[in-house]
Chains A and B, each alone.
Chain A
Amino acid sequence: MYLVRDILDKQVVDRKQARIGKVDGIVLTTENDGRLKISFLEMGHLTLMRRLSPRLYRWLLALSQRARAGRDRCPYRIPWSKITDAGVDIQVDIDDSDTPLEQTQEWLRQHILRRIPGGLS
């Protein structure tokens, strides 16, 4: 299996086959003997920005840290062990309510959809 060809930028689906995002980055760890192993899949807009332009990434990072006012948050990472299948999509053993995407969706529901008639039906 090649990481770039088969994992990166692939669709990630959760237990219930719902789409929860794309693999934006992969995290490797070095073991004690210096070898690398895959530890996490990373998803998030910051990771995407980092691939696009380091300068833009630093700026967005500063912005999001200020927005979160002290709550230091990691980019969202899925442990490699949670992956159950990797074919057309990457299947992970996660519930979509844990993902930041779903949390953003929930925020949108509470703050924006509520103001629009028919939004919550």
Chain B
Amino acid sequence: MKKLLQVSLGIITSIGGFLETGNIATSSQAGAAYGYTPLWAIVLGTICVIFLVEMSGRFAIASHYTIVDGIRDRFGSNIFLLTISIVFVVNLLVLAAEIGGISLALQFLTGVKFPWWSLPVTFMAWLLLWRGTFGLIENGISALGLLALSFVVAVFVMDPPWGEIAKGLLPTLPSKDPLHYSFIVVGILGAVISPYLFYFYSSGALEDEWDKSYFGANRAIAILGMSFGAIITAAVMVSAAMIYPSSGIEDIEGYEQIAMILTPAFGKWGLYLFAISLGITCLGATLEVSLAQAYLVAQGFGWNWSENMKPKENPAFCLVYTACLMIAVIPIVIGVDPLRITIFSMALSALSLPFGVVPFLILMNDPTYVGKHRNGWISNAAVIFIVAMAFVLSIVTTPLEILGG
């Protein structure tokens, strides 16, 4: 059945697209510093993102709007400008982090330092979008992103303590340094619940012209795609927990430390597997975030938009993502450490979550848009609780980490 194929493709795209520099960095940091205990943060973040992704698909199907259209329509241009500006700025930082991820992957493979790779990498990403072929390559990149499953394989190869893992899935408080622990949790939540993810998803649902028969498919893709993606993220944390504390590495401050995470399981292939996984997943994320930025502007101001937009058809749209890429590459090219940018952008992501999510939640409960497909109280409660927690923790811990770290 054609729909089965579409659902499978959607799931693969979600799995392959789930992992990116934010997840890898925050999970490794968490595993090294606190072992298996922060696993519950991944669980919580995944629950939240499953709800949000399913909602964004349901919104697109039921209302024929994208989320940005809906926000502008329901709240007016002023609130639209406010929320979209915040999301736009945070996305720029995330974009910089992703470009840094690809550049670092190439550094690990070749020995040439990452700032040298930043410009060619950005140029290549730009070219892939400029040629208007994103739809074609999206599936290819996500399929290659499945290489990240090697993290899961590594966990099984290393024979982890399953009892400890099970315990970690339940929320526990840390024994030492609770503020740093909270900051790590914030990073994980910000990495897993990325606003660009579900904004992008609703645009995709609209462009692929999902109709009412896709409600079930939407739910399947959201649940299965996000869950498997979360399993990979959890595998990163478990691997980190197994390798780093016993070797004496408690604080991960650089990607060089993370790069050896697959070496115990895969020997000399470990480094290559890691670098290729990092590079490909970050490339996918780079393309997605750049497009998401262009979507934000185009959908907000009523321009034409498409994932395969050719520059001639809509110069303004294409110049938006061009400008974003040009701005995002600057910190990487001047040599700012990509891990630092990643952690910072994930914390800011968590901080900006209410601005991106609350308007969307209001839309999901408004029958004018979604008719009888409104949210149940569970979805509302779960999302509000998790986003509120992420926001409060982020407000309390981020300034401290910036001033202290």
Contact = CB atoms under 8 A, between A and B. Distances in A.
A101 B302 CA distance: 10
B271 to A, nearest CB: 36
A52 B72 CA distance: 13
Nearest to B311: A119
Nearest to B130: A118
B45 to A, nearest CB: 32
Given A88-B65, A118-B131, A20 B302 contact: yes
Contacts of A11: 69, 302
Contacts of A10: 73
A121 B132 CA distance: 11
For chain A, the bracket of interface size reads 20 to 34
B304 A19 contact: yes
B319 A112 contact: yes
B64 A88 contact: yes
Contacts of A78: none
Contacts of B73: 9-10
B224 to A, nearest CB: 30
A101 B76 CA distance: 20
Given A12-B302, A52-B78, A118-B130, A113 B72 contact: no
A113 B302 contact: no
Contacts of B65: 88
Interface stretch (A57-65, A68-76, A102-110): A102-110
Contacts of B81: 48, 52
Nearest to B368: A5
B131 A21 contact: no
Contacts of B303: 19, 21, 101
B304 A119 contact: no
Contacts of B172: none
Contacts of B314: 105
B76 A9 contact: yes
For chain B, the bracket of interface size reads 20 to 34
Interface string B15-34: 00000000000000000000
Interface string A11-36: 11000001111101000000000000
A119 B312 contact: yes
Contact of B311 (A9, A20, A43, A113): A113
Contacts of B77: 9, 24, 48, 51-52
Contacts of A88: 63-65
B312 A113 contact: yes
Nearest to B310: A121
A17 to B, nearest CB: 10
Contacts of A3: none
B316 interface: yes
Interface in A70-107: 88, 101, 104-105
A22 B78 CA distance: 14
Given A24-B77, A88-B65, A118-B311, A9 B316 contact: no
B210 to A, nearest CB: 15
A116 B319 CA distance: 11
A18 B78 CA distance: 25
Given A21-B301, A118-B131, A119-B315, 6 more contacts: A21-B302, A24-B77, A51-B76, A105-B315, A108-B319, A109-B312
Interface of A: 5, 8-12, 18-22, 24, 43, 48, 51-52, 88, 101, 104-105, 108-109, 112-113, 116, 118-121
